Amino acid sequence: MTHTPKAISRSPDFIIRRGNAGDAALLAELGARTFSETFAPDNSPADMAAYLATAFSPSQQTSELADRETLFLIAESDGIAIGYAMLRSGNVLENVTGKNPIELVRLYVSQDRLGSGVGAALMQACIREASRRGHKTLWLGVWEHNARAQAFYRKWNFTEIGTHVFHLGDDPQTDILMQRTISDATG
């Protein structure tokens, strides 16, 4: 008998479920693929390879899935993962000023699903989960050259609060820090 993970959100085309210990290989592949789809054209192959090898290794995903401060939300369509989000509490950067913050570490959607509502559904699920856990602020870092993601986050009422350095391999890059308030009513 196969165990089917419980959906926390449904749409006609996909579900969103919480990640579990058995998702390490899935997240390693999906994370590396979606990160590459988005950032490989604008970065050196060496820097991409170095980052992907550490950030999206199966062992790193296993460690992140086991971390009690981390939550993965996975979007699936017909049993195939098409996007995911990663939330993590703790380790708050000094620019983050909101109350009881939680970081949106990643929100990645497969290239062929961009614009289909998967990202919006993942964001809604992140806000709902953060609120359910008592957080009042959602914050993130987004690459200064990723205009599409910045526009998406602004649409969700994130505002800029500073910058920080993100290392992609040997390349120090600038991420824009953004945050938004989480109200008791989600959205």
Confidence of residue 184 (pLDDT cuts 50, 70, 90): low
Concerning whether 108 is annotated as a catalytic residue, the answer is no
- The domains of the chain, with CATH numbers, are 7-181 (3.40.630.30)
User: Which range, of 105-119, 123-137, 150-164, averages the lowest pLDDT?
Assistant: 105-119
Q: pLDDT at position 2, please?
A: 42
State residue 29's pLDDT score: 95
Confirm if 135 and 89 have CB atoms less than 8 A apart.
yes
The confidence band for 183, taking pLDDT boundaries of 50, 70 and 90, is: confident
Matching residue, tokens 């990645």: 108
Alpha carbon separation from 172 to 47, 50, 144, 169 (Å, rounded): 10, 13, 12, 8
User: So what's the pLDDT on residue 1?
Assistant: 38
% of the chain beyond a pLDDT of 70: 94
Cross-strand pairs, 119: none
User: What would the mean pLDDT of 90-97 be, rounded to a whole number?
Assistant: 86
Concatenated DSSP letters of 42-97 = GS-HHHHHHHHHHHT-HHHHHHHHH-TTEEEEEEEETTEEEEEEEEEES---TT--
**How many C-beta neighbours within 10 Å does residue 20 have?**
12
Tokens 């939680």, residue located: 102
For the segment 21-48, the average pLDDT, to the nearest whole number, is 93
User: Is the pLDDT assigned to residue 11 strictly greater than 80?
Assistant: no
Which residue in the list 51, 84, 108, 153 is annotated as catalytic? 153
Q: Which of 103, 51, 52, 107 is nearest to 75 (CA)?
A: 107
Question: What value does the mean pLDDT take over residues 98-117?
Answer: 91
Distances, alpha carbon 116 to alpha carbons 111, 137, 153, in Å: 10, 26, 16
pLDDT at site 4: 53
Tell me, what amino acid is at 146? N
